[in-house]
Amino acid sequence: MTALPVPVIAIDGPSGVGKGTACGHLSSRLGFKLLDSGSLYRLVGLACEWDGVSLDDDAGCTEVARALDASFEHANGRLRVWMNDREVSALIRTEKAGQDASKVAVNQGVRDALLDWQRHAAKWPGLVADGRDMGTVVFPNAGLKIFLDASTEERARRRHQQLLDSGQSVTLAAVLEEMRERDVRDRTREAAPLEAAQDAKILDTSTLTLDAMLGQVDQWADEYLSNLGN
Ligand code: DC
């Protein structure tokens, strides 16, 4: 394993657990770059749709992932994304885009195609990486690995509230069903399944307030960064 050029904080966990919030908070507070790896899989799913490639066509999806033409911009805690010069920030955030991302993510060829893209995000002054396999596959030598978890019911409740807040009408039962389906696929796939790295700090956020979760993440990050170079 080669040494990383900058400090990397890897945060993994299932969907709806609050990784995005934790990573956005930490990257703003530390002034670090942010890698939202899920958005890459979401883009591949969308690009397959645009190109008429079926999500179970492994070779076709791999080609699409290799040819991905995307750019990102972080401003005011918000990620904006373009693909083929078209802004797709909202298009990749739908529940369908999440399901499609989870389907293309089982494909090892797609995962390999996205590996360099993700590793190149480790730039000065440091990186906070959000995903499912940040601590296990993409950055196995990250200095701090955190695995956030929460019960499926609690994650579905939070996601449901987010969707209602953003004006989408959907039932809690439908969100719970989709989340169960995505969890099973993400955890049981052969290629880089969702799991905590052996050296990850595990935090169950089911009964934690947002502030308590962020407080614990901040504390771990501060300990890690203050020990660098010792
Ligand atoms: O974090 P997210 O909801 O945007 O991720 C969407 C899907 O992409 C997720 O269900 C599985 C896949 N994914 C992955 O396999 N590996 C990652 N590092 C990030 C996301």
Mean pLDDT along residues 143-165: 94
Q: What homologous superfamily does CATH list for 8-213?
A: P-loop containing nucleotide triphosphate hydrolases (3.40.50.300)
Mean pLDDT along residues 92-120: 94
Burial of 195 (0-12, 13-18, 19+ CB in 10 A): middle
With a 6 Å cutoff on the Cβ, whether 18 touches ligand 1 is no
| Predicted confidence (pLDDT) per residue in 205-219, tens digit | 999 999 999 999 999
CB atoms within 10 A of CB 3: 5
Among 17-21, 147-151, 167-171, where is mean pLDDT lowest? 167-171
Query: Atom 13 (ligand 1): residue with closest C-alpha?
Result: 38
Testing ligand 1's pocket by substitution, the residue of 127, 134, 147, 186 carrying the most ligand atoms inside 8 A of its CB is 186
Give the model's pLDDT for residue 9: 98
Task: Tell whether the model's pLDDT for residue 230 goes beyond 80.
Answer: no
Note whether 129 and 35 are within 8 A (CB): yes
Give the model's pLDDT for residue 168: 82
User: Among 136, 126, 133, 128, which residue's Cα sits nearest to residue 110?
Assistant: 133
Give the model's pLDDT for residue 167: 86
Mean pLDDT along residues 48-75: 95
CA of 59 relative to ligand 1 center, distance in Å: 20
Give the model's pLDDT for residue 78: 78
Mean pLDDT along residues 91-109: 93
Collapsed DSSP state (helix, strand, coil) of residue 73: strand
Proportion of the chain above pLDDT 90, given as a percent: 83
Tokens 């009408």 correspond to 169
Task: Tell whether the model's pLDDT for residue 1 goes beyond 70.
Answer: no
pLDDT bracket for residue 115 (50, 70, 90): very high
CA of 155 relative to ligand 1 center, distance in Å: 15
CA of 230 relative to ligand 1 center, distance in Å: 35
User: Among 59, 36, 60, 66, which residue's Cα sits nearest to residue 48?
Assistant: 60
Give the model's pLDDT for residue 95: 84
Task: Tell whether the model's pLDDT for residue 70 goes beyond 70.
Answer: yes
108 vs 192, residue with greater confidence: 108
With a 6 Å cutoff on the Cβ, whether 155 touches ligand 1 is no
Give the residue extent of every domain in the chain.
8-213
Note whether 106 and 185 are within 8 A (CB): yes
With a 6 Å cutoff on the Cβ, whether 45 touches ligand 1 is no
With a 6 Å cutoff on the Cβ, whether 13 touches ligand 1 is no
Q: What is the mean pLDDT of the chain?
A: 93
- Any alpha helices (H) in 5-123, and if so which ranges? 19-30, 37-51, 58-66, 95-104, 108-119
Mean pLDDT along residues 103-110: 96
Give the model's pLDDT for residue 133: 97
Q: What is the dihedral of CA 23, 26, 28, 31, to 10 degrees?
A: -120
